[in-house]
């Protein structure tokens, strides 16, 4: 759960504004009045990407109008608004137990038009269906993974954060590897990551294996490997050799290899669109390659470049 | 210092499975349900864990428990398949995609627990699999079943309580002027994980009278005179247990002492009200009456606080909510934390809370940690 450091960096407001404006441009092109993005404590990467919001508990909705400032609707108490304003770029925060009612109030005064639902299929069905009833005249249009698509191409700032995230994850892995028992390994990795200021870290350990998946300033990276007996690295090495711009995930995912974009690490790829498997990886993408089964897999995080992959996690003496 | 044996995560015994299925099936019969479909979202897996005995990790899972017949688990990953199989409660484990429910014969009405969170992409497939079947929310039904803990469950929560106490001690040890809030959380997390905790829910706030509530940690560094508040909630073998305490860095001033006395009186009033048969409303009212008697009644409203306690078990924030107006009757064997946490102008936000097992004539305290304002030498 998200109980680590939450910080709004000094440079962030300008870049986050540009991200929101890019989304607003797409909304305007599609004739969409506003985009609605659902998030919960398990999956809130899109919200963080656009606003730096940390949804540390419960559920919420980010509403981004085609023109104007975003609004965040949350089931959390108004008492957390000052903290959310201090750690995000959202000024308009509204709380209540009923998200449908909050959306209806936010749209009141607007002429019925198109409300874009980001990844509509992952919205809680009762919320989605209640909105359809509560908003007569409005058309609820699926915008698909429109925010995720933007997140697949990290900016220079984002790439710097991904590098830092990978460094933190690698350091945590090495700290954990020194432990004598799985509990000690988990404890040491957690502390190392949290002392370096992660928002969240997911650690799994066994007698002979350790995995660290860390979120630093909203950016996830992963590293996993064996302790003493290393999983066979050959399939990963082979996949690494094929990791170039233009290659698809499907082409890489042979011999037990799996590929996750950094944006999908938050949820282990469970919400990943199936069609994504055939899309070519772009230069500048950051992905985690894994081989082996859970509990014994080998994982590293890479930057895809025209000259070949750059491994961001670990080192020869690491995982 | 608390000594805690490192706790191993063990699957529950099969006798536990029969007791749970029996309770759920009685609830189904009472509500005229032919089957229960339990949904696990990434942050709300408690119902599926209750039925499968398994610790799951994927973002989605389902469990189908018919009124008669064998249960089915539907999982989204190979890792979760193995977890269910190793727990040994559910023999029929299927992939969630593509969905295949094979509904029990005669299925006409099915309760769905956590229907409110089920994604459209999954519910639409459930509906397509079950044409003509009436689906209705069973969230409150399953909540009610889970409120009363079995002896085995209470043992797990007692184990989590030991980890809670150790976590609080680690928290106090980490409080040094100049240390940032997030480093305090890191120290606590290390101790909880070392002792075998699966997870932890934790909020923190440091500072003076300006503090209105608790949040995830920031970069603020502790200063002499600060109150440092936390609720920390480790999860051990599936079960959560919470402690709420406040510490002062250095000597407390008169108002901080007064605040500590007020919250102790409110906590003890709430605990005195706890016994099987009383309502959540009565416990909340007992806590709030203390604030009202001392002239701080306005700080018991939603402007300043959320709840005066809540249940916990396989979820850290189970029903009932201990709030005025909630008529849920506390049952013997349920677990609640009583915490009159709120803001007052005395010393800002203050937290003090203890989890207890509800008994026929009162309660069993789960924590041995002193109920006081802890002091840390600067």
CATH number at residue A224: 3.90.230.10
Instruction: Supply the pLDDT for residue A132.
Output: 97
Q: What is the dihedral of CA B299, B301, B302, B306, to 10 degrees?
A: 70
Mutate to test the interface with A, among B58, B120, B188, B315 (most CBs of A within 10 A): B120
Backbone angles phi, psi at A42, to 5 degrees: -85, -30
Q: Average pLDDT, stretch B133-144? A: 98
Separation CA B194–CA B167 (nearest Å):
10
How far off is chain A from B371, nearest CA to CA, in Å? 25
Q: Three-class SS of residue B39?
A: strand
| B354-359: strand order across its sheet | B318-321, B309-311, B335-338, B354-359, B362-365
State the average pLDDT for chain A. 94
What span, in angstroms and rounded, lies between the C-alpha atoms of A258 and A263?
15
Q: Given CB atoms, is B220 within the 8 Å cutoff of chain A?
A: no
Within-domain flag for A67 = yes
In sequence order, what are the residues at sequence separation of 6 or more whose Cβ sits closer than 8 angstroms to the Cβ of residue A172?
A: A189, A190, A192, A193, A196, A201, A203, A212, A214
d(CA A53, CA A59): 12
Choose the final residue of a domain: A133, A151, A169: A151
Within this chain, do residues A67 and A19 fall inside the same structural domain, yes or no? yes
Contact present, A2 and A54 (Cβ < 8 Å): yes
pLDDT at A317 over 60: no
Identify whether the C-beta of residue B336 lies closer than 8 Å to the C-beta of residue B329.
no
Between chains, do B42 and A40 touch, taking CB under 8 Å as contact? yes
- Report how far residue B70's alpha carbon sits from residue B31's, in angstroms, rounded to the nearest whole number: 20
- Which of helix, strand or coil describes residue B77? coil
Q: Domain check: are A178 and A303 in the same one?
A: yes
In a domain, A272, yes or no: yes
A211 plus A278 within the same structural domain? yes
Residue B123 in contact with partner chain A when CB distance is under 8 A? yes
Residue B270 to residue B358: CA distance in whole angstroms: 12
Q: Would you state the pLDDT for residue B182?
A: 97
Q: Give a yes or no: residue A92 inside a domain.
A: yes
pLDDT, average across residues B64-74: 96
By Cβ distance, the residue of B43, B58, B193 closest to A41 is: B43
Q: For position A318, what pLDDT does the model report?
A: 43
Same domain assignment for residues A231 and A294: yes
pLDDT above 60 for A16? yes
Rounded to whole angstroms, how far apart are CA atoms B116 and A127? 7
| Statement to judge: residues A254 and A271 lie in one domain | yes
Instruction: Give the C-alpha separation, B314 to B238, whole Å.
Output: 6
Shortest distance between the Cα of B182 and any Cα of chain A, in A, equals 6
Question: Residue A2 is nearest to which of B121, B216, B306, comparing CB atoms?
Answer: B216
Q: Which of A108, A123, A151 is the last residue of a domain?
A: A151
Nearest to A1 among B117, B124, B199 (CB): B199
The 3-state DSSP class for residue B288 equals: helix
pLDDT value at position B339? 98
Contacts with B79 from chain A: Cβ below 8 Å: 294-295
- A34 and A97 share a domain? yes
Distance in angstroms (rounded) separating the CA atoms of residues A147 and A46: 6
Name every chain B residue with its beta carbon within 8 A of the beta carbon of A127: 116
Classify A289 as helix, strand or coil.
strand
CA geometry: angle B323, B366, B20, nearest 5 deg:
80
* A289 and A147 assigned to the same domain: no
Task: Flag whether A4 is in a domain.
Answer: no
pLDDT at residue B348 tops 60: yes
Note whether B119 contacts A122, CB cutoff 8 Å: yes
Residue A5 lies in a domain: no
**Which of A86, A189, A190, A269 should we substitute to test contact with B (largest number of B Cβ atoms within 10 Å)?**
A190
| Total of domains in chain A | 2
Determine the Cα–Cα distance for residues A32 and A148; give it in Å rounded to an integer.
Answer: 18
Going by C-alpha positions, the residue among A180, A187, A233 that lies closest to residue A212 is A187
Closest-CA residue of chain A to B9: A183
pLDDT, average across residues A244-250: 95
Residue B10 pLDDT: 75
A47-100, pLDDT tens digit by residue? 999 999 999 999 999 999 999 999 999 999 899 999 999 999 999 999 999 999
DSSP assignment string, B213-256: --BS--SPBP-TT-EEEEEEEEEETTEE--EEEEEEESS--HHH
Is residue B103 very low, low, confident or very high in pLDDT (cuts 50, 70, 90)? confident
pLDDT score recorded for residue B137? 98
Q: Would you say B49 and B55 are in contact if contact means Cβ atoms under 8 Å apart? A: yes
Q: What is the pLDDT of residues B244-266, one digit of tens each?
A: 999 999 999 999 999 999 999 99
- Angle formed by the axes of helices B181-194 and A182-195, nearest 10°: 170
pLDDT higher than 60, residue B274: yes
CB-based contact B185 A190, cutoff 8 Å: no
Taking residue A63's Cβ as centre, other Cβ atoms within 10 Å add up to: 21
Would A307 be classed as within a structural domain?
A: yes
B-chain residue closest to A198, CA distance:
B182
Average pLDDT over every residue of A107-130: 97
In a domain, A1, yes or no: no
Which of A39, A124, A203 has the most B C-beta neighbours within 10 Å, making it the best mutation to test the interface with B?
A124
Q: Which of B179, B120, B157, B82 is nearest to B357 (CA)?
A: B157
Length of chain A: 319
The answer to whether the predicted template modeling score (pTM) of the entire model surpasses 0.80 is yes
Mean pLDDT of chain B: 96
Neighboring chain A residues of B81 at a CB cutoff of 8 Å = none
Could you read off the pLDDT of A167-193 as tens digits, one per residue? 999 999 999 998 889 999 999 999 999
pLDDT at B143 over 50: yes
Residue A30: pLDDT above 70?
yes
Which residues does residue B249 pair with via DSSP β-bridges, in sequence order?
B376
Q: Which of residues 294-313 of B touch A (CB under 8 A)?
A: 302-304, 306
Taking contacts as CB-CB distances below 8 angstroms, the residues of chain B near A190 are: 186, 189-190, 193
- Say yes or no for a CB contact (<8 Å) between B115 and A120: no
Which run of H or E residues covers position A26?
helix A12-30
- Same domain for A165 and A304, yes or no, is yes
**Residues A142, A36 share a domain:** yes
Q: Is residue A7 part of a domain?
A: no
**3-state SS string over B106-172?**
CCCEEEEECHHHCEHHHHHHHHHHCCCCEEEECHHHHHHHHHECCHHHHHHHHHHHHHHHHHHHHHH
B239 at A interface, C-beta within 8 A: no
- Residue B235's pLDDT band (boundaries 50, 70, 90)? very high
Residue A77 to residue B302, Cβ atoms within 8 A: yes
- Put simply, the answer to whether B187 touches A77 (Cβ < 8 Å) is no
Residue finishing a domain among A131, A151, A171: A151
pLDDT of residue B3: 63
A142 and A177 inside one domain: no
Q: Domain range holding A189?
A: 156-311
Query: Is there a contact between B186 and A6 if contact means CB atoms under 8 Å apart?
Result: no
Which structure tokens are listed for B182? 């997030």
- Whether B10 has its CB under 8 Å from any CB of chain A: the answer is no
Q: Using an 8 Å CB-CB cutoff, list chain A residues near B82.
A: 294
Q: Are A44 and B216 in contact (CB under 8 A)?
A: no
Residue A127 and residue A170 in one domain = no
| C-beta atoms of A125 and B77 within 8 A | no
B6-60 pLDDT tens trace: 666 677 888 999 999 999 999 999 999 999 999 999 999 999 999 999 999 999 9
Question: Given a cut of 90, is residue B229 above it in pLDDT?
Answer: yes
Task: Test B59 with A271 for CB contact under 8 angstroms.
Answer: yes
SS3 B341: coil
Contacts of A197 in chain B (CB under 8 A): 182
- Asked if A144 and A164 sit in the same domain, the reply is no
Show which of residues 99-118 on chain B sit within 8 Å of chain A, judged by CB atoms: 115-118
CATH number at residue A89: 3.40.350.10
What's residue B234's pLDDT? Answer: 98
Percent of chain B with pLDDT over 90: 94
B interface test, pick of A93, A168, A191, A205 with most B CB neighbours within 10 Å = A191
DSSP A200: E
């Amino acid at each position: 759960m998200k109980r680590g450091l939450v910080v709004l960096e000094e440079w962030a407001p300008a870049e986050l504004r540009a991200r929101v404006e890019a989304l607003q441009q797409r909304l305007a092109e599609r004739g969409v009045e506003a985009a609605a993005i659902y998030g919960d404590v398990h999956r809130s990467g899109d919200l963080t990407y656009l606003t730096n919001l940390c949804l540390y508990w419960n559920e919420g909705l980010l509403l981004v109008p085609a023109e104007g400032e975003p609004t965040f609707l949350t089931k959390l108490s108004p008492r957390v608004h000052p903290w959310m304003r201090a750690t995000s770029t959202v000024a308009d925060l509204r709380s209540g137990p009923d998200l449908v009612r909050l959306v209806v109030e936010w749209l009141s005064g607007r002429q019925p038009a198109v409300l874009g639902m980001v990844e509509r299929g992952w919205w809680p069905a009762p919320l989605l269906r209640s909105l359809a009833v509560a908003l007569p005249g409005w058309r609820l249009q699926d915008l698909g993974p429109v925010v995720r698509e933007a997140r697949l191409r990290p900016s220079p700032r984002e790439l710097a954060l991904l590098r830092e995230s990978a460094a933190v994850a690698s350091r945590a892995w090495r700290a954990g590897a020194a432990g004598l028992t799985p509990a000690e390994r988990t404890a040491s990795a957690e502390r190392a990551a949290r002392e370096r200021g992660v928002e969240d870290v997911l650690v799994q350990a066994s007698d002979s294996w350790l995995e660290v998946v860390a979120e630093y300033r909203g950016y996830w990276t992963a590293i996993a490997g064996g302790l003493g007996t290393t999983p066979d690295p050959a399939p990963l090495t082979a996949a690494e050799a094929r990791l170039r711009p233009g290659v698809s995930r499907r082409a890489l995912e042979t011999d037990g290899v799996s590929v996750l974009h950094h944006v999908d690490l938050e949820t282990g790829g469970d919400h990943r669109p199936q069609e994504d498997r055939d899309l070519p990886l772009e230069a500048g993408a950051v992905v985690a390659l894994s081989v082996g089964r859970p509990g014994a897999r080998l994982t590293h995080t890479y930057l895809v470049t025209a000259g070949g992959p750059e491994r961001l996690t670990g080192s020869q003496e690491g995982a | 210092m608390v000594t805690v044996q490192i706790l191993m995560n063990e699957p529950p015994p099969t006798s536990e499975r029969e007791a749970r299925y029996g309770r759920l099936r009685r609830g189904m019969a009472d509500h005229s349900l032919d089957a229960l479909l339990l949904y696990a979202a990434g942050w709300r897996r408690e119902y599926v864990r209750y039925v499968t005995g398994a610790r799951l990790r994927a973002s989605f899972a389902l469990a189908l428990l018919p009124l008669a017949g064998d249960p089915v688990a539907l999982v989204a990953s190979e890792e979760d398949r193995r977890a269910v199989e190793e727990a040994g409660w559910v023999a029929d484990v299927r992939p969630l995609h593509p969905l295949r429910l094979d509904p029990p014969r005669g299925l006409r009405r099915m309760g769905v627990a956590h229907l409110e969170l089920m994604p459209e992409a999954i519910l639409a497939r459930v509906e397509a699999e079950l044409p003509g079947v009436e689906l209705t929310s069973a969230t409150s039904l399953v909540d009610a079943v889970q409120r009363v803990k079995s002896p085995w469950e209470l043992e797990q929560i007692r184990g989590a309580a030991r980890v809670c106490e150790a976590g609080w001690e680690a928290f106090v040890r980490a409080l040094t002027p100049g240390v940032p809030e997030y480093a305090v959380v890191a120290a606590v997390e290390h101790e909880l994980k070392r002792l075998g905790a699966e997870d932890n829910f934790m909020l923190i706030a440091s500072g003076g009278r300006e503090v209105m509530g608790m949040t995830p940690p920031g970069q603020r560094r502790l200063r002499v005179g600060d109150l440092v508040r936390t609720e920390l909630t480790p999860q051990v073998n599936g079960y959560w247990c919470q402690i709420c305490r406040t510490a002062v860095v250095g000597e407390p001033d008169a108002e901080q002492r007064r605040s500590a006395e007020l919250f102790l009186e409110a906590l003890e009033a709430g605990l005195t009200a706890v016994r099987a048969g009383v309502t959540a409303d009565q416990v909340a009212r007992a806590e709030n009456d203390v604030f009202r008697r001392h002239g701080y009644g306005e700080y018991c409203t939603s402007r300043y606080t959320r709840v005066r306690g809540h249940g916990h078990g396989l979820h850290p924030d189970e029903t009932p909510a201990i709030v005025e107006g909630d008529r849920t009757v506390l049952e013997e064997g349920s677990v609640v934390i009583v915490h009159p946490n709120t803001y007052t102008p005395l010393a800002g936000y203050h937290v003090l809370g203890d989890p207890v097992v509800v008994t026929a004539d009162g309660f069993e305290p789960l924590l041995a940690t002193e109920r006081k304002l802890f002091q840390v030498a600067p």
